[in-house]
């Protein structure tokens, strides 16, 4: 394991069943200055898979940065806080701790609702905030907040376009969960259908965290759509696809995410499922992706997931060069506001960061991102890239 130089501390409250408050404190040389990095993730609860995935990649990136000496006398220390899989009160408490006690100049968040809950404090205290997980469009145009993944309203129209152009779909059903991301996806699907000539004939909302989809899927089957578009993420996708196949629903299913956890849940039922989302391919033939995949396998004995890539990317490809530029400008990166100020300067210059996806990542003034988007399909239990988006058009991958 790569973390032999890292100590893990857990608060007494966490051991007694209270919220988990974890921090990794690398062993630095006495001359090194420490830049505390905060992160608010789902470390416990139904979304703990996400917390595990996101935090391990943050740790990997920080270990590489600290070992390389690339920050010239500065080292990073990660402070992990738990939002308990979507508890806004826990998230706000965590954010207050990170800002007032840990003095973190930057915080990485997950979940759209949680990120929106802590953003006002980040703006008030001039703390830089990154989101690599939430997909709600309401995450755009928020002070000090930058998103490193495409939001649902950007991806849903592409899913409809794929269903219409490549699957010949004219009748669409939607299955989506009732948070901001799911609702926005559903609205974006209906709007895209109006423009592309298809029709939404059935809309099935459900409560986040559901595992039994028998009722909405029965209605979908009765409606007999050509394609189903999901406003769902995580384990929900696996359950929906599996249960749709069990009910002999023949409609093609198109979603906005595809993770190894979903493949495990649905098994062979996932074959034929298609997802349109940020294009991270572990087999991509570029040095940045392959270097990350190799290091990740050595550290964890697994192939990295999409969220592994996103949170590694925030730390290694965005935050590290941002800190370097802050230092080069004669500013102290540990000072609250210094990183945010430097980010604003880079945004004005249309600066492009290298991306672990391969190619470039560009963050915009409104907090949105431009990065590669692709289409993946499950074949024989594996996610296979079958197309990428170029100027709004699908370019099929040569097999």
Describe the strand order of the beta sheet including 128-131 as a list of residue ranges.
6-10, 21-26, 74-82, 33-41, 106-109, 128-131, 145-147
Write down the mean pLDDT value for the chain. 91
Question: CA angle, 240 as apex, 271 and 306 as ends, to 5°?
Answer: 65
The whole-number average pLDDT for the span 40-62 is 96
pLDDT tens for 267-311 read 999 999 999 999 899 999 999 999 999 999 999 999 999 999 999
pLDDT tens for 128-154 read 999 999 998 899 999 999 999 999 888
DSSP string, 156-174: HHHHHHHHHHTT---EEEE
Q: Using the predicted structure, report yes or no on whether residue 259 has a pLDDT greater than 70.
A: yes
Percent of the chain at pLDDT exceeding 70: 92
The whole-number average pLDDT for the span 27-33 is 62
Selected residue with higher pLDDT from 15 and 188: 188
Residues 110-138: b if buried by 16+ CB within 10 A, e if exposed: bbbbbbbbbbebbeebbbbbbbbbbbbbb
Q: Which fold has domain 6-149+286-363?
A: Rossmann fold (3.40.50)
Q: Which residue in the block uniquely carries the two structure tokens 């270990």?
A: 63
pLDDT tens for 166-206 read 999 999 999 999 988 899 999 999 999 999 999 999 999 99
The whole-number average pLDDT for the span 323-339 is 97
Looking at residue 46, its pLDDT comes to: 86
Residue 199: C-alpha distances to residues 218, 224, 226, 255 (Å): 19, 12, 10, 17
The whole-number average pLDDT for the span 224-237 is 95
- Among 18-27, 80-89, 198-207, the minimum mean pLDDT is found in 18-27
Joined tokens for residue 116: 């929106």
Selected residue with higher pLDDT from 39 and 152: 39
φ, ψ for residue 79 (rounded to 5)? -115, 110
Separation between Cα atoms, residue 342 and residue 323, nearest integer Å: 9
Q: Indicate the domain borders of the chain.
A: 6-149+286-363, 152-281+373-396
φ, ψ for residue 396 (rounded to 5)? -70, 145
Looking at residue 17, its pLDDT comes to: 37
Q: What is the dihedral of CA 100, 103, 107, 112, to 10 degrees?
A: 0
Separation between Cα atoms, residue 139 and residue 118, nearest integer Å: 11
Looking at residue 399, its pLDDT comes to: 65
Looking at residue 10, its pLDDT comes to: 35
Q: Using the predicted structure, report yes or no on whether residue 377 has a pLDDT greater than 80.
A: yes
Q: How would residue 29 be classed by pLDDT, with cut points 50, 70 and 90?
A: low
Burial class (CB in 10 A: 0-12, 13-18, 19+), 380: exposed
- pTM here is 0.86
Class of domain 152-281+373-396: alpha beta
Q: How would residue 1 be classed by pLDDT, with cut points 50, 70 and 90?
A: very low
The whole-number average pLDDT for the span 210-228 is 97
Count Cβ atoms below 10 Å from residue 382 Cβ, excluding itself: 12
Joined tokens for residue 275: 């997802």
Looking at residue 3, its pLDDT comes to: 41
| Same fold across 6-149+286-363 and 152-281+373-396 | yes
Looking at residue 27, its pLDDT comes to: 47
Start-to-end C-alpha separation, the chain = 36
* Rg, the chain, Cα only: 21
SS (H, E, C) 15-52: HCCCCCEEEEEECCCCCCEEEEEEEEECCCCCCHHHHH
Residue 180: C-alpha distances to residues 123, 177, 188, 360 (Å): 21, 9, 12, 28
Looking at residue 167, its pLDDT comes to: 97
Looking at residue 398, its pLDDT comes to: 77
Q: Using the predicted structure, report yes or no on whether residue 21 has a pLDDT greater than 50.
A: no
């Amino acid at each position: 394991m790569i973390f032999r130089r890292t100590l893990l501390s857990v608060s007494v409250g966490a051991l007694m069943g209270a919220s988990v408050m974890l921090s990794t404190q690398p062993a630095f040389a006495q001359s090194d200055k420490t830049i505390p990095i905060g992160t608010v993730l789902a470390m416990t609860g139904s979304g703990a898979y996400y917390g595990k995935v996101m935090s391990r990649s943050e740790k990997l990136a920080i270990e590489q940065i600290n070992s390389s000496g690339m920050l010239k006398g500065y080292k990073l220390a990660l402070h992990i806080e738990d939002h308990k899989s979507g508890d806004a009160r826990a998230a706000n408490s965590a954010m207050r701790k990170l800002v007032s006690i840990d003095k973190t100049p930057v915080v990485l968040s997950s979940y759209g609702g949680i990120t929106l809950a802590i953003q006002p404090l980040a703006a008030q205290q001039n703390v830089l905030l990154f989101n690599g997980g939430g997909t709600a469009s309401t995450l755009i145009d928020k002070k000090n907040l930058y998103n490193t993944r495409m939001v649902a309203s950007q991806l849903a129209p592409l899913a409809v376009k794929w269903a219409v152009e490549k699957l010949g779909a004219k009748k669409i059903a939607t299955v989506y969960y009732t948070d901001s991301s799911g609702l926005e996806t559903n609205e974006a699907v209906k709007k895209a259908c109006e423009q592309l000539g298809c029709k939404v004939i059935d809309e099935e909302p459900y409560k986040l965290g559901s595992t039994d989809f028998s009722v909405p899927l029965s209605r979908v089957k009765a409606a007999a759509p050509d394609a189903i578009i999901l406003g769902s993420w995580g384990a929900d996708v696996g359950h929906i696809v599996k249960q749709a196949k069990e009910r002999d629903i023949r409609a093609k299913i198109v979603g906005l995410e595809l993770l190894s956890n979903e493949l495990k849940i649905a098994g062979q039922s996932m074959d034929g499922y298609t997802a349109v989302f940020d294009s991270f391919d572990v087999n991509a033939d570029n040095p940045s992706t392959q270097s990350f995949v190799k290091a990740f396998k050595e550290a964890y004995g697994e192939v990295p997931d999409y969220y592994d890539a996103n949170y590694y990317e925030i730390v290694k490809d965005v935050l590290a060069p941002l800190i370097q530029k802050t230092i080069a400008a004669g500013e102290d990166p540990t000072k609250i506001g210094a990183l945010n100020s430097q980010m604003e300067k880079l945004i004005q210059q249309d600066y492009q960061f290298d991306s672990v996806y391969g190619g470039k990542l560009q963050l915009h003034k409104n907090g949105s991102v431009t990065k590669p988007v692709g289409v993946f399909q499950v074949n024989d239990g594996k996610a296979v890239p079958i197309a990428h988006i170029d100027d709004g058009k699908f370019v099929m991958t040569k097999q």
